[in-house]
Amino acid sequence: MNVSDEIKRLHELHLAGALTDAEFERAKANALGGAVNLDKTSDRPSTGGDDLVAELGALRRSRSDRWLGGVCGGIGKASGIESWIWRLMFVLCTVFIGFGLLVYLLMWIFVPEE
C-alpha cells in the first residue's frame, strides 16, 4: 500500500468517526514519515522545529553563572550541560578553528540577559 492509499484510508476512517481529529493528524503524519508531537495547548500537530525555535527564544545570558558575559552559563541552563564544558568548547573553537570568540561576542550582543 502506498502513502496516498494509506492517507485515503485514514481519511475514510476519520469521516466514519473511527478516528478523532488528533488521532487522524498523528496517523497522517506517521504515514508521511514525520514524527509528530501534539502541542499541549491544542490538538494541532507541531513539528520538532517549533520546539527548537521556542528553546532558542527562551535562551538568556546568566546573571549568576558568568565569567564575562554570561553566555556559557545561559547555554548551560538551557541545555542541561555544565557551563564549564561550554566555556571549554568556546576556548577550543577559538584556539583550533578560530570562530569561537566571534560566536561568543555575537551571542553576548544578541542574547538578552535573564
Q: Are residues 48 and 71 in the same domain?
A: no
**Type of residue numbered 2:** N
**The overall pTM is greater than 0.85:** no
Question: Containing domain of residue 91, as a range?
Answer: 59-110
State how far Cα 14 lies from the chain centre: 30
69-78 confidence digits (pLDDT tens): 888 888 888 8
Average pLDDT of the chain?
Answer: 78
**Type of residue numbered 111:** V
Radius of gyration of the CA atoms of the chain, in A: 22
Q: Are residues 47 and 10 in the same domain?
A: yes
Q: Are residues 14 and 50 in the same domain?
A: yes
Q: Are residues 51 and 63 in the same domain?
A: no
Q: Are residues 15 and 49 in the same domain?
A: yes
Q: How far apart are the C-alpha atoms of 82 and 65, rounded to whole Å?
A: 10
